[in-house]
Structure 1
């Protein structure tokens, strides 16, 4: 491969779930910057349209789709829109997710909440991968990037549903890498550490940040661009012999919500 092509995403289409804000938005912008057509999927159409409009205004190609990833028909429609708009799907970033935040006291949450967290963080990624894989096979190129979390390996109170769903996402990805690999489709995970997003802002205090940085060799919290850079690596041809892996982007340390 010519090194000039390592990060060339021209003529490739990427679907990014949860693309309207935070890490998802940065992933959309970064992939578009390197030439990908981007399908910006978000629960809120207004947020998705804002991101896609920004990309288009800078000369990129993007379209917005409203999607609740826990609804199967929304996932089917998302894939159909990508094919209708751009003719192929080569990249999938399963970024939409939720739960955790130290709010999952097992005495207070119920079974339906636990199931919902798994539907959101795990089942949707499995299903959307299943829907996209035939198109990736047809395109001769496929990269699925699942956004997991440091919670998948940390042990923290009141995080049992979120943490276990993100751990399951890693193991699912490693197993699917064996299923999809023969068809030229790679699956990898990116695990953000404490990253400055609106979700973190809801629970972050100066004291929590100070404690997080005590265990972080690179003395700052993550920026969304840090995570998008890792996603770009897995999406691009430079990593075409990398599959079934997880890359934690965490400043070299561990940040928890103890």
Structure 2
């Protein structure tokens, strides 16, 4: 990608899965990567693998639902690499007990919104002032195809992920003239470690048969989209939510 060499980026939720693949791809493109994860050992391990391969990365503990933790990872980027060019907010989860509108408890709803909406808001509050001060940068958020697909068996997660779309458009509209680009990515069914643990082989094969593609998603598919949006090649993309899903949802 054009213009990634020497940039500094944060990948929140980068210890494994989509986040780890994204951190590796960015490092291959010459980005200095700060990896944050609630499981610090995952973040440190992924950063060590990147460093061993010749890249530049550090791993830190990140509780994305806390403002002080979000501020700390931005400070870590500035302390280690001296600047910040983009923040990839990739946190997700909290789906256990998320059933339907009549059977989802208030506790499950609150947890889902904390992980899937509040964390992205707090990431924005932590990173945006730094990006504005340096003259611009990119906020890249991970949403989900679940946000717009319509699912009778889940309610809190799609609601919370939909909130990211409003955040994307707000940041793009409000701060675009200050050099800020904000975009979101909605992955389809991506076979990460966490997803694979919960899917039967029958479910995988049924999903593949319904998909107008030859395979299901890989973390690297999303990593490529993030790299583009962070790069100079993506400079004129702003306020968009991209569906990277192999064609499972087809939208204008």
TM > 0.5 between the two? Answer: yes
Residue in 2 that maps onto 1:146: 141
Q: Which runs of 5+ in 1 are unaligned?
A: 1-5
Partner of 1:39: 34
Q: Deviations over 1:116-141 (max 9, x none)?
A: 21111111111211211121123223
Question: How far is the alpha carbon of 1:8 from its aligned partner?
Answer: 2.7
Q: Which stretch shows the higher mean deviation, 223-232 or 196-205?
A: 196-205
Distance 1:84 1:159 in 2: 41
Superposed, which structure 2 residues align to 1:166-245 within 5 Å?
166-245=161-240
Q: TM-score, length-normalised on structure 2?
A: 0.94
Please give the residue correspondences for 1:30-109 in structure 2 after superposition, counting only pairs within 5 Å.
30-100=25-95, 103-109=98-104
- Matched with 1:115 is 110
**Structure 1 pair 197–102 and aligned structure 2 pair: CA distance change class (3 A):** farther
Q: Deviations over 1:156-192 (max 9, x none)?
A: 1231000111111112211221112111110001111
Q: 1:29 to 1:8 in 2, by over 3 A?
A: same
SS of 2:149's equivalent in the other structure is coil
1:123-138 pair list within 5 angstroms: 123-138=118-133
Residue 13 of structure 1 corresponds to which residue in structure 2?
A: 8
Q: Secondary structure at the match of 1:62?
A: strand
Distance (whole Å) between structure 2 residues aligned to residue 139 and residue 124 of structure 1: 23
Q: Secondary structure at the match of 1:74?
A: helix
User: TM (normalized to structure 1)?
Assistant: 0.91
Deviations 1:63-118 (A, max 9, x none): 11101111221111111111111111111111011133784344443212201211
For 2:61 and 2:150, the matched residues in 1 are separated by 34
SS for the counterpart of 1:153 is helix
CA RMSD of aligned residues (A): 1.7
* Between 193-202 and 101-110, the greater mean CA deviation after superposition: 101-110
Judge which range, 143-152 or 131-140, deviates more: 131-140
Whether the 8 Å contact between 2:98 and 2:108 is mirrored in structure 1 is no
Q: How much does 1:247 deviate?
A: 1.2
CA contact (8 A) 1:16 1:28 kept: yes
Q: Per the alignment, do residues 94 and 126 of structure 1 end up closer, same or farther by CA in structure 2, a change over 3 Å counting?
A: same
| DSSP 3-state at the match of 2:183 | strand
Aligned residue for 1:244, secondary structure, equals coil
Q: How many residue pairs were aligned?
A: 250
Residues 1:159 and 2:154 aligned together? yes
